[in-house]
Amino acid sequence: MKRTATLFLLLLVGFFAKATVFNVTVTNFQFSPANIPNVLIGDVIRFNFGGANFHNATTTPLGMAPAGAAAIHSGTPGQVTTSYSYTVTVAGSYRYYCEVHSGDGITGMVGTFTASGVVPVQLKNFDVSISGKTVTALWQTASEQDLSYFSLQKSNDGKNYKEAGRVNAAGNSNNLQSYSLKDEQLDMNARYVYYLLKSVNRDGSYSLSPVKLIRNDGAVKKLITQMGANPVSKAIGHLMFQFNADRNSSMRALVIDGNGKTLMKLDLSANKGINNGHIHMAELPTGIYTILFSLDGLKETRKVMLVD
């Protein structure tokens, strides 16, 4: 019995020794990457906070973790260390969030990953390209094991995905297989669209590809894509929003009162694609303010009411 237990322990140690460490940078009011592909049981999710200790990462109480899985919880915002590591021990879907910058655990500062026991497919490559109003996805597999189908998933914010199309898989194969899908239902209000490939096994388990980003130059060119709750309560004290950026840069935000006086001047870091922004307004008097946003020649204004 002792020999069996020792052998099991050695196998377990060997399994976790092969674990992949996925690094998630916590900055600019977002988790980067927001979706982690190809996570297996035994892998480690490492959250790197750096100087951003006003954030945290947690699944409690509004997030999601599979039954039997330990909660993700990096600590109280403002008291977290520079990094926090979470070892995945249960397969399933996980959704974590920042307690300060996501009011519902679904929108705002949120990240996700799905863990599986085995990867049913060895994906050789996956790429997307755009021509006019059509996005074409191309991929190949080096091997497949009990695979059912591929689902092309797309998102306008890099977090919430929906199916754009699916194609049946070869099922079981050790030969190179080639696939393609077209998405002709682009949202002309979305300048950036995120795509990933969901490989679904016959038992319902699945794995996700790395995320691909395309820019839709035919879409309406705008800066601010989404605003948080307005009026803003002083009890909450912060205004959340999302914005486009065509390159890694920074966006200027000016908070202007009714007399035209600039009360706040902020430079918000931006990565290419969709970004989360955040303005702390709790210290301002109640009233109506104009927020002037500017980035790479684009300027937009929003009226915001701050109330008790």
User: Token pair for residue 120?
Assistant: 């049913």
The reported pLDDT for the residue numbered 32 is 85
How does DSSP assign 172-188, residue by residue? SBSS-EEEEEEE----T
CA angle 75, 109, 262 (to 5 degrees): 105
pTM here is 0.76
User: What mean pLDDT comes out for the span 222-227?
Assistant: 93
User: What mean pLDDT comes out for the span 67-89?
Assistant: 89
The total number of residues written for the chain in this structure: 308
Beta bridge partners of 48: 25, 83
Confidence of residue 219 (pLDDT cuts 50, 70, 90): very high
Does the pLDDT of residue 17 top 50, yes or no?
Answer: no
Does the pLDDT of residue 79 top 90, yes or no?
Answer: no
The reported pLDDT for the residue numbered 251 is 94
- What CATH class does 224-307 carry? mainly beta
Pairing of strands 121-131, 134-144: antiparallel
The reported pLDDT for the residue numbered 51 is 66
Does the pLDDT of residue 130 top 90, yes or no?
Answer: yes
> Poorest-confidence range of 21-25, 32-36, 109-113, 212-216?
32-36
Whose tokens are 């002083």? That residue is 234
Sorted by where each begins, the domain ranges of the chain are: 2-116, 121-215, 224-307
List strands edge to edge, sheet with 238-245: 224-227, 238-245, 273-280
User: Token pair for residue 16?
Assistant: 């976790």
The reported pLDDT for the residue numbered 16 is 42
2-116 and 224-307, same CATH topology: yes
Query: Residue 51's CB: how many other CB atoms inside 10 A?
Result: 7
The CATH topology of domain 2-116 is Immunoglobulin-like (2.60.40)
The CATH topology of domain 121-215 is Immunoglobulin-like (2.60.40)
